[in-house]
Structure 1
Amino acid sequence: MAAARSIDTLVRAARLYYEDGLSQGEVARRMGLSGATVSRVLAAARERGIVEVRIHDPRSPVRRVAEVERQLVERFGLTDARVGTPNGGPAQALQLVGRLAADLFGERIGQMNRVGLSWGSTLEAFVAEVPERVAAVQVLPLAGGNPGLDSAGAGGTLVQALARRCGVEPSRFLAPAIVESPQTKAAITSESAIRKALERAAQVDHAFVGIGTFGVRSSATIVEDMRLSEAELATFLAQKPAGDLTGRFFDDDGLELGSPTSERVIAVTLDDLRRVPCVIGLAAGVEKARGVLASLHTGVVDVVVLDLPLARAVLSRAGEPVPAEA
């Protein structure tokens, strides 16, 4: 296993070369290394997963499924839906949803002034697929920081990564998204800077949010981070949580749950999101079907971006007929 200093060297060289755009010779001079050493360092950064290279083949566009998109729009009163066919397993579904969301982002970029982001692997896949461009937008977090769920592949938060791709400075939200007690939340949200950050988050015109399903991936992590007591956990489970948006849990009917979980989240509320002109909900994988269906009952989501198996599972749970060959 590489020593900490070696990892620091790999990360620094990778940032200078891939993010700052320096040549290998310039990186060598900046770091006091030989050109051959820099070449080996960059190769090691790729091998260790510090740098990920994505190749987008324009000859293989995402195949969308118009009939299923139409069904989702009509059944749930959405303004739009994006559904694509993945070529493989869960990882491919995640990347597919990321590409669909990035395409939507590109189409709407001229209509956006203030863009809000939540967290999670689906949002990370989306941000990774957004091409670099100059865009006159503000990029804001919809919640406090969540180190376990809000990190970009190249380091930093998803908000920082998207802002960097748009050539703008990100907005900050210097508070945790999830805390362990109502008292901690009350103390943090009493600070004027945190109140202002929440106010700014509630004023975005487009919000890209990951849709969580209770007990699955990020939603399970959120509950663990809250450190609920046995009595609190029993109260929470009795409310029959189905899914979450920005850590705000709701039941199968789309009703937002209250204490004990609501008192441990520092983020926009579902009511805040309902006032956002366009909320785009992202999810990948059939295991997310319950949470996606419940989210569509909240009245928050205007656009969904899903992979085909998940979209079919959502329609099936809603009692909608789905064509056998969609």
Structure 2
Amino acid sequence: MYDPQIGIISVLYFEKGLSQQEIAIRLGVSKMTVSRVLQRAKDLGVVKIQISKPFELHEELEKAIQAKFGTKKVYVVNPHRSEEDATALLGNFFAFQINTNLLNNTILGIGVGKTIAKIADCLLPMKTKNIEIVQLLGGLTNVVKENPFSIVQEFCRKLGAKGTYVASPAAVEDSAWRDQILYQTSNGVTLLEKWKECEQALFGIGVLDGGTLLSPSLVTDEEMREIREKGGIGDILGHVFDANGRFLQTNLEKRLVSIPIDTLLKIPERIAIGGGVLKAKAIKGLLRTGIVTTLVTDAKCAQYVIK
């Protein structure tokens, strides 16, 4: 049955721009009645709200990657311009996702990379409740935006969150030193427990040439030769993998201060983010590991991934 009140209040509020208080006075009803009628208008479809989001997703490529690799969730972001930088595009996109979807009472593990740093840079400050950001691997040797320590600091500042940090470089001298840091210090024991409690892990996808972690400052020439000889094509959180989706046992792995792969696998949502054509081969190898539950990439890279 037609209810004229719903139509009148909807037009006055959404088309004429009157406030709920002004409508209540005009119609001689309470402001609460106006609020209830507006909600009923939405429920009945009298009012349909359409938001033009700032990012366009390529659903066909998303479905193609899901079908080929079995990835639970895929975001393929279309660039606004053909020459748009993938790091800026994906960083802005996922910062938008966090600002609009982040739930309170969450422990979020954060990794390394230029795109992860861009996300931190693009986040809008927001009030949250009981959010904790956990660093997933040690720091780099220089203080830059891509340093995991700096990224976690920025996430905490923007989200008003508590931070748990790794008080160590990402790669130390040897396995004995690594084990001492992780298993025989209070910071290490706390980290191991926090890593197990993470509900989400967000990390970048590194490539051998020009990667954030696999650089001369942390990886020796001899280790890089070993990685190449074993077929390594990329890394996540310092863990190197090959084109067939196998994580490699290398000397770097033995001295890496990073969340272990078996612990990472137990985190419910594992979000890998990276784009650009140069990362397509590494992304394919990473998807074959089965460790990624959510992939975020750009359309041009996605086209190469499914070839």
The letter of the residue matching 1:298 is T
Distance 1:299 1:220, change over 3 A: same
1:162 to 155, 163, 176: 155
Structure with bigger gyration radius: 2
* Contact persistence 2:90–2:298 (CA under 8 A): yes
Q: 2:204 is paired with a residue of what secondary structure?
A: strand
The letter of the residue matching 1:146 is L
1:116 to 109, 116, 138: 109
2:190 pairs with 1:196: yes
Q: 2:290 is paired with a residue of what secondary structure?
A: coil
Mean Cα deviation higher: 98-107 or 241-250: 98-107
Supply the distance in 2 between the matched residues of 1:90 and 1:219 (Cα, whole angstroms). 26
Distance 1:84 1:233, change over 3 A: closer
RMSD across aligned positions (CA) = 2.6
- Counterpart for residue 30 of structure 1: none
The letter of the residue matching 2:231 is K
Distance 1:270 1:156, change over 3 A: closer
* Contact persistence 2:233–2:282 (CA under 8 A): yes
The letter of the residue matching 1:127 is A
Please list, as runs of the form range in 1=range in 2, the aligned pairs for 1:176-195 lying within 5 A after superposition.
176-189=169-182, 190-195=184-189
2:137 to 126, 132, 143: 143
2:127 pairs with 1:134: yes
- Counterpart for residue 284 of structure 1: 275
Q: 1:242 is paired with a residue of what secondary structure?
A: strand
- Residue-by-residue CA offset, 1:7-48 (whole Å, 9 max, x unaligned): xxxxxxxxxxxxxxxxxxxxxxxxxxxxxxxxxxxxxxxxxx
- Counterpart for residue 45 of structure 2: none
Q: 2:163 is paired with a residue of what secondary structure?
A: coil
- Residue-by-residue CA offset, 1:104-161 (whole Å, 9 max, x unaligned): 32343127610010011010111122211112211111111224486269x9611110
- Counterpart for residue 220 of structure 2: 227
Q: Which runs of 5+ in 2 are unaligned?
A: 1-50
2:249 pairs with 1:252: no
Q: 1:131 is paired with a residue of what secondary structure?
A: coil
- Residue-by-residue CA offset, 1:77-113 (whole Å, 9 max, x unaligned): 2221111122457763211111221233234312761
- Counterpart for residue 20 of structure 1: none
* Contact persistence 1:214–1:291 (CA under 8 A): no
* Contact persistence 2:171–2:252 (CA under 8 A): no
- Counterpart for residue 68 of structure 2: 75
* Deviation, structure 1 residue 263: 0.9
The letter of the residue matching 1:275 is K
* Deviation, structure 1 residue 255: 1.2
Supply the distance in 1 between the matched residues of 2:226 and 2:149 (Cα, whole angstroms). 35
- Residue-by-residue CA offset, 1:292-322 (whole Å, 9 max, x unaligned): 1111011111111111111111111xxxxxx
The letter of the residue matching 2:264 is L
Distance 1:143 1:248, change over 3 A: same
- Counterpart for residue 95 of structure 1: 88
- Counterpart for residue 296 of structure 2: 305
* Deviation, structure 1 residue 186: 3.3
Runs of 4 or more, structure 1, over 6 Å off, are none
Supply the distance in 1 between the matched residues of 2:141 and 2:126 (Cα, whole angstroms). 27
Supply the distance in 1 between the matched residues of 2:166 and 2:286 (Cα, whole angstroms). 25
* Deviation, structure 1 residue 284: 1.9
Q: Which runs of 5+ in 1 are unaligned?
A: 1-57, 317-326
The letter of the residue matching 1:226 is V
Distance 1:244 1:227, change over 3 A: same
* Deviation, structure 1 residue 70: 1.5
TM-score, with normalisation over the residues of structure 2? 0.75
Supply the distance in 1 between the matched residues of 2:267 and 2:187 (Cα, whole angstroms). 22
Supply the distance in 1 between the matched residues of 2:95 and 2:67 (Cα, whole angstroms). 23
